[in-house]
A and B are shown apart, each in its own frame.
Chain A
Amino acid sequence: MPATPLTRICYVEDDEDIQRIVRMSLERIGKMTVEVCGDPLKAIDVITAFAPQMVMLDWMMPGMDGPTLFKKMKEVPATAALPVVFITAKASKKELDELRDLGAAGTLSKPFTPKDLPEQLRQVWAGLPG
């Protein structure tokens, strides 16, 4: 478990409505600082600039899907070590296992419950090596 509590999160998601709900949930309930990026092609720059403790990725996005973005992040030193949680409507266990094999810290399925979201993320955070 990391020594510092989870407070800074970057979320890459193309759907603006979901962006806002996640932002409200994490900011209001989770008392976290949230940066949202709507364009996966710019995500690496945004993440690098914001320097979050954890990154949340949507799976299906126009331009570049979540797993591809995840692989790109691994290639960039500034983002390579960041823990990544996928949030996806794809619920098949096979696909979730694939994500874990890629090195994802966790997966959350859509639709999520905004009330529980900060707690779920904190559990993933707590499960990470310190």
Chain B
Amino acid sequence: MDSPLSSSSSNDPGSRPRDAADRRRVLGDQVELLYRQSIQGIVASILIGAIATYELWSQQYKDLVIFWWVLTLAISALRLVLYFSWKKRTDTDHDKWLRWFAIGAFATGANWGFAGSVFFPSHADEQQVFLAFLIAGMSSGGIPFFSAVWWVYALYAAGIMIPFTYVLATFGNHLFAELAFLVPLFYAANVAVSLRLSQVFASGFRLRQAYGRLTEDYSVINRKLEHQLVELEEARRQVEASGRKLALFAERSPIAVFEFDPHGQVLTMNPAAETLFGWASPEVVGKPGIEFLFPPEIVPQVEKRWAEFIRAREPEIGVRYHNVRRDGAELICEWSMTPLVNAENQVISVIVQGQDVTQQLESERMKKEFTSTLSHELRTPLTSIIGSLQLVNTGVMGDVDKDILDLTMIAERNAQRLLDLINDLLDIDKIESGKFTLYPEMLSLDELVHEALALNQGFAERFKVRMEAVGDLPAVKASVDRKRTLQVMTNLLSNAAKFSPEGGTVDVTMQLNGGTARIGVHDRGPGIPAEFRNRIFSRFAQADMTATRQKGGTGLGLAICKRLVELMEGNLGFDDREGGGSTFWFELPAQQ
């Protein structure tokens, strides 16, 4: 018999092991009931046994009665021992304890059966009545003690009834034969009562288990709920905190932040937006924002774009528009628009952020203009200066006094330095603003190195330094900007020449390693001072300011070279040269 609770949960895939566990617990409860009641049963057995011994006592069957009485005590003692070992049990093997209990119960029953079958035929009529009464009492009296498990009772009662029925049936007396026929019926009726009782017990125990489980489940659910409540509360606090944070960001942000509805009406605007456009929030909120923020002539165009944006539902970033302030002043703003879309994919509102870039654009324009002016306006007079001085210095204008020539030489050299500086500054400006364009072509690197050597030979001679390639350079092709590669080579070669001792040699090497060509320029100069190593590639880097005057150069050369080589997907660096001096090298992707 299943309880409604367990049957209702039988669809639950987890219920099967749970039901099995329940059945074990119910069995445990049944076994416990059997053992707990066994003390009273044993005591009753001993008491009734004592009365029976007294009643059946006769000289003739003295030995048999004593034997039976000892047997009763022994079985009772053994059952007591069993009871106490059950009490001290450490396992939950209910089947084992039930088995032992059943054996004890059967022994008890059989002991009474023995009394009935042995003493019934041998005693007088009154004692037979006493015995029949005793047998009937013992068998029905066992019901409350053994019915927790019906078959334990059935065993017990069978132990009593079977020998007694046999004795009655074989007594040879008509009345007793009839009784022998009735006794099994009594037995069956008793077992039926016991079965019913056992079922009632079991269902009671099941109910208790189910209730216990329910309470347990309830408390688990309760704990879970409590936990979820705590989490929910925490989540609410977090949402609240981030809401406050967000509001604070918008409020303190230097960027104008608006929230628009999909129709372009302003929902909210932050103080930066008020400051930028000169409108107070209550004047604008609830009104079409585009009309407030854009010059009238472009309003239709902006409205059209807005409608497209709402349809597309995609964020837009960095869109520039001409805008207008309340006082009519025009400005250029960079806008970012982020649509907030709900689960139905409808735009609920749009977060619009705007930044005034008028000044930034103006300064960019001015910088560009300045760079261009610098390039032209400085180079043009320098062209005249250098040109004039060269005409004098090369003797085209006839012989000049040596002292004057010294001076015009100095003037030309310094004008050239000024020009180099301008060119370097323009280069580095272009490189760093990302506007530098390379014109790569597939060139033979070895030829380019030889060309650079030829171009710088004259410069090296001024320092009484020789420059040469070491051995045959491997034939290597690379995709490089010819002019810029020559610039890098020239820079490294002229540095090496400047810092080489008089009469020294600058060695140029080239190796091909895998897909990389490495070009090295090796000198026997003083090497790179330790304190200069980490800033050698920064702007205006020179180890010693006096070197600037002695050796010339702008201090921008290596910075430019490194960036140029990197733009050509290469690498530039330096090492100490074995035996003194330095090696500057650069690597470029190349092929044979």
Contacts and interface: CB of A to CB of B under 8 A. Distances in A.
Contact of B387 (A28, A92, A93, A114): A114
A18 B391 CA distance: 12
Interface stretch (A1-9, A74-82, A105-113): A105-113
A111 B376 contact: no
A29 interface: yes
B390 interface: yes
B22 to A, nearest CB: 88
Given A18-B387, A25-B396, A115-B390, A110 B483 contact: no
A15 B383 CA distance: 10
A88 to B, nearest CB: 9
Interface string A78-118: 00000000000110111000000000000000111111000
Contacts of B380: 15, 18, 89, 110
Interface in B551-575: none
Contacts of B386: 111, 113
Nearest to A117: B387
B396 A21 contact: no
Contacts of B397: 24, 28
A93 B388 CA distance: 27
B419 interface: yes
Contact of B396 (A17, A18, A114): A114
A21 B384 contact: yes
A22 B390 CA distance: 12
B437 A60 contact: no
Contact of A114 (B376, B379, B391, B437): B391
A93 B483 CA distance: 10
Given A25-B387, A25-B391, A115 B396 contact: yes
B394 interface: yes
Contact of A92 (B384, B394, B437): B437
Nearest to B396: A28
Given A28-B396, A60-B376, A111 B382 contact: yes
Contacts of A113: 386-387, 390
B379 A115 contact: no
A89 B376 contact: yes
A106 B396 CA distance: 25
Most buried by B among A17, A60, A94, A114: A114
Nearest to B483: A93
Contact of A115 (B376, B394, B437): B394
Contacts, number: 62
B396 A112 contact: no
A8 to B, nearest CB: 20
A111 B376 CA distance: 10
A21 B412 CA distance: 14
Given A93-B483, A115-B394, A21 B387 contact: yes
Contact of B419 (A21, A90, A111): A111
Contacts of B396: 24-25, 28-29, 114-115
Contacts of A60: 376
A24 B391 contact: yes
Nearest to A113: B390
Given A24-B396, A28-B396, A111-B382, A89 B387 contact: no
Most A Cβ at <10 Å: residue of B379, B382, B386, B387 = B387
A113 B412 CA distance: 11
A60 B388 CA distance: 21
A60 B383 CA distance: 14
A78 B557 CA distance: 47
Contacts of B437: 92-94
A17 B384 contact: yes
Interface in B344-388: 375-376, 379-384, 386-388
Contacts of B387: 18, 21-22, 25, 111-114
A93 B439 contact: yes
Interface string A8-41: 0000000101100110110011000000000000
Contacts of B375: 89-90
Interface in B390-405: 390-391, 394, 396-397
A89 B384 contact: no
A90 to B, nearest CB: 8
A74 B386 CA distance: 33
Contacts of A114: 387, 390-391, 394, 396
Contacts of B379: 89, 110-111
30 contacts: A15-B380, A17-B388, A18-B384, A18-B387, A21-B383, A21-B391, A24-B397, A25-B387, A60-B376, A89-B375, A89-B376, A89-B380, A90-B376, A92-B437, A93-B483, A94-B437, A94-B439, A110-B379, A110-B380, A110-B383, A111-B382, A111-B383, A111-B419, A112-B387, A113-B387, A114-B390, A114-B394, A115-B390, A115-B394, A115-B396
Interface of A: 15, 17-18, 21-22, 24-25, 28-29, 60, 89-90, 92-94, 110-115
Interface of B: 375-376, 379-384, 386-388, 390-391, 394, 396-397, 419, 437, 439, 483
